[in-house]
């Protein structure tokens, strides 16, 4: 097909990069299973499932890190997938130990103070997986994430540990539906539910509008799986597959599909191969592999959260990645995918573009190019007649949708998600809000109007000020649901969900809590956003901004103890990926 180039066009790996010779697979667990001086360790292991006799101590011990939580559709099925993966490991002669890892549902916590825990949970997940595997001398780890912070958290742990490991994505949810009885049938997802309130306000809060709102909410999430669409979960799952850390197809198989179950059944042999050849995450997650992940993110119209997360994952393996690298990739790569939230479709098979290179090693033991050959041959019929991916010479946008903006409002950088559907430039008067709730009330009251170009500034929501850099999906959904997408741009030192679309700019550095210029703008200031020149500026002189700074005082932190308080003390800024360990 002209729109997707098979791997035959990609470079091949040199024979000199072949895997090392086979050796014992219990490289790490032997620390506690072999010495006579570790009798207590061995006694405790005899009490566990999988260890019945002395010979079992010669087997590899592999963790199955299941990011499982019954109260979230993204993660409620993960325990079952982990159990199936463990059976596959045992069948391959590996001792499997499943353990739980906690995560936070963005969809449930969104719009509340609970959202402060979302990004912080990424590091909690990474620390949990690293701690369980490191403390118990596991020889390798299979990670099973579901919701969007799960993916980077588990990959950061694999990078830190640098022991054989791979990711199995929990999979995406089925679309929902509502309508009928005289109304058109609508296909739904979680963003439909978020936008339902703005739509309800726009349609006059009538009894019929309330019925539509209630029906939308009831039917948006029909089962297990991560939010449908090219939102953060699917963005990161796709990027990690391009990175080489998941088996081909993992990002594309729906959560409740037979294909996802079959994938789980293949993990044992795949893991045994990684153990035997001692293929390590840092051999796979190279600089060029991250280039491939960034290219795919641009091609799919992926979430701005990918900037934070790929920088953090790269840090875990000693690869330096900056926001400027994303701008460079965005400049030279088009946006050919017609995917939600700004496009038509939800989530395709993972595409392999001629834009990516193919000679990087993956967890299959083969290169990305070799995986692509097999994948395209197997799935060729499924691509016939598709219009999800437009031809590369006729893309939706000739360059990437993620833009890194700088200027007197964001000297340390900001991340914009601009597909061009709402234009490439925006100028409007500032309406500044120090919290989400005040903005919601402004929309409810009708004080933000159609026809008036407005730049809504949502501040004190950064990594420190939020704390935890909460996502602004509720505000952007209100904007779009209320039909204000062409009249309102949204600027924040917080983040945006992958489900956000419109004219949105987040990750402003420095953040307001630390005295960044975003703390000093006032209602009525004229703000210019230019996604061509990559600038973000306010029409206020340097002298006036300096004068305002003399009257500014940082507000108290919103927390004074606990996990979030610790987070405020160690988290880096958004342009450094909000890392907490360096």
Render 159-196 in DSSP notation, one character per residue.
HHH-SSEEE----BPPPEEEEETTEEEEEE-HHHHHHH
With a CB cutoff of 8 Å and minimum separation 6, the contacts of 459 are 432, 433, 434, 465, 492, 493, 511, 512, 518, 519
With a CB cutoff of 8 Å and minimum separation 6, the contacts of 233 are 74, 146, 147, 148, 150, 151, 172, 226, 227, 498
Read off φ and ψ for residue 40, nearest 5 degrees. Answer: -65, -40
| Cis peptide bond prior to 167, omega within 30° of 0 | no
| Residues 471, 289: Cα–Cα separation, whole Å | 28
The DSSP H or E segment spanning 496 is none
β-strand partners of 176? 188
- Which tokens go with 543? 């002298």
235 in Cβ contact with 300 (< 8 Å): yes
| Cis peptide bond prior to 94, omega within 30° of 0 | no
Q: How many CB atoms lie within 10 A of CB 9?
A: 11
Half-sphere exposure (CA, 13 Å, Cβ side) for 222?
14
Q: How far from the centroid of its chain's Cα atoms is residue 330's Cα?
A: 18
Give the start-end residues of each E strand in 234-359.
none
* Catalytic residue flag (residue 438): no
Catalytic residue among 41, 342, 477, 497: 497
152 in Cβ contact with 313 (< 8 Å): yes
Question: 323-332 and 305-316 are packed helices; what angle lies between their axes, rounded to 10 degrees?
Answer: 120
3 state SS of 75: coil
| Residues 276, 62: Cα–Cα separation, whole Å | 13
Q: What is the DSSP letter of 397?
A: B
Angle, CA of 340, 346 and 352, to the nearest 5°: 100
Read off φ and ψ for residue 470, nearest 5 degrees. Answer: -60, 155
3 state SS of 322: coil
β-strand partners of 144? 66
β-strand partners of 427? 528
Q: In what order do the strands lie in the sheet with 165-167?
A: 95-101, 61-67, 140-144, 165-167
CA dihedral 305, 307, 309, 312 (to 10 degrees): -150
* 439 to 94, 178, 434, 443: CA distances (angstroms): 54, 29, 9, 6
Could you list the active site residues? 497
């Amino acid at each position: 097909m002209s729109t997707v180039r098979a791997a035959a066009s990609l470079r091949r790996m040199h024979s000199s990069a072949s895997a090392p010779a086979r050796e014992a697979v219990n490289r790490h667990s032997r620390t506690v299973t072999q010495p006579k001086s570790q009798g207590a360790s061995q006694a405790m292991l005899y009490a566990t499932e999988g260890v019945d006799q002395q010979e079992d101590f010669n087997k590899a011990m592999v963790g199955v890190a299941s990011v499982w939580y019954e109260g979230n559709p993204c993660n409620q099925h993960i325990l079952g997938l982990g159990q199936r993966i463990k059976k596959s490991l045992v069948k391959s002669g590996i001792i499997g130990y499943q353990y739980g890892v906690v995560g936070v549902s963005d969809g449930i916590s969104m719009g509340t103070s609970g959202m402060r825990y979302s990004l912080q949970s990424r590091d909690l997940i990474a620390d949990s997986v690293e701690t369980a595997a490191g403390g118990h001398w596991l020889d390798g780890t299979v990670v099973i994430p579901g919701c969007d912070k799960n993916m980077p958290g588990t990959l950061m742990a694999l990078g830190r540990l640098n022991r054989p490991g791979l990711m199995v994505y929990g999979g995406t949810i089925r679309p929902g539906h509502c309508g009928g009885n005289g109304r058109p049938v609508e296909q739904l997802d979680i963003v439909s539910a978020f936008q339902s309130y703005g739509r309800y306000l726009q349609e006059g809060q009538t009894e019929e509008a309330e019925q539509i709102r209630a029906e939308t909410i009831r039917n948006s999430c029909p089962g297990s799986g991560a939010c449908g669409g090219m939102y953060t979960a699917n963005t990161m799952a796709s990027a990690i597959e391009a990175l080489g850390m998941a088996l081909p197809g993992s990002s594309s198989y729906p959560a409740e599909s037979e294909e996802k179950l079959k994938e789980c059944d293949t993990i044992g042999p795949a893991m045994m191969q990684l153990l035997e050849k001692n293929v390590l995450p840092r051999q796979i997650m190279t600089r060029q592999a991250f280039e491939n992940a960034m290219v795919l993110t641009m091609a799919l119209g992926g979430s701005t959260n990918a900037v934070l997360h790929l920088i953090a994952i790269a840090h875990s393996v000693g690869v330096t990645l900056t926001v400027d690298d994303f701008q460079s990739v965005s400049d030279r790569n088009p946006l050919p995918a017609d995917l939600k939230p700004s496009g038509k479709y939800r989530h395709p098979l993972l595409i392999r573009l001629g834009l990516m290179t193919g000679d990087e090693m993956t967890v299959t033991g083969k290169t990305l190019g070799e995986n692509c050959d097999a994948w395209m041959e197997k799935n060729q019929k499924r691509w016939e007649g598709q219009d999800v991916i437009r031809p590369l010479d006729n893309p939706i946008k000739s360059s990437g949708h993620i833009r890194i903006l700088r200027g007197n409002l964001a000297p340390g950088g900001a991340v914009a998600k601009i597909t061009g559907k709402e234009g490439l430039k925006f100028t409007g008067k500032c309406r500044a809000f120090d919290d989400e709730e005040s903005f919601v009330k402004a929309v409810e009251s009708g004080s933000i109007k159609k026809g008036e170009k407005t730049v809504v500034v949502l501040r004190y929501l950064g990594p420190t000020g939020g704390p935890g850099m909460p996502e602004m999906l509720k505000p952007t959904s209100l904007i779009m649901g209320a039909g204000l997408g062409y009249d309102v741009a949204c600027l924040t030192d917080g983040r945006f969900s992958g489900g956000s679309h419109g004219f949105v700019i987040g990750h402003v550095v420095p953040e307001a809590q630390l005295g960044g210029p975003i703390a000093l703008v006032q209602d009525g200031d004229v703000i210019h956003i230019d996604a061509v020149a990559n600038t973000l500026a306010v029409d206020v002189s340097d002298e006036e901004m300096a004068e305002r700074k003399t009257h500014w005082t940082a507000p108290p932190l919103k927390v004074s103890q606990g996990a979030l308080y610790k987070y405020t003390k160690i988290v880096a800024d958004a342009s450094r990926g909000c890392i907490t360990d360096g």
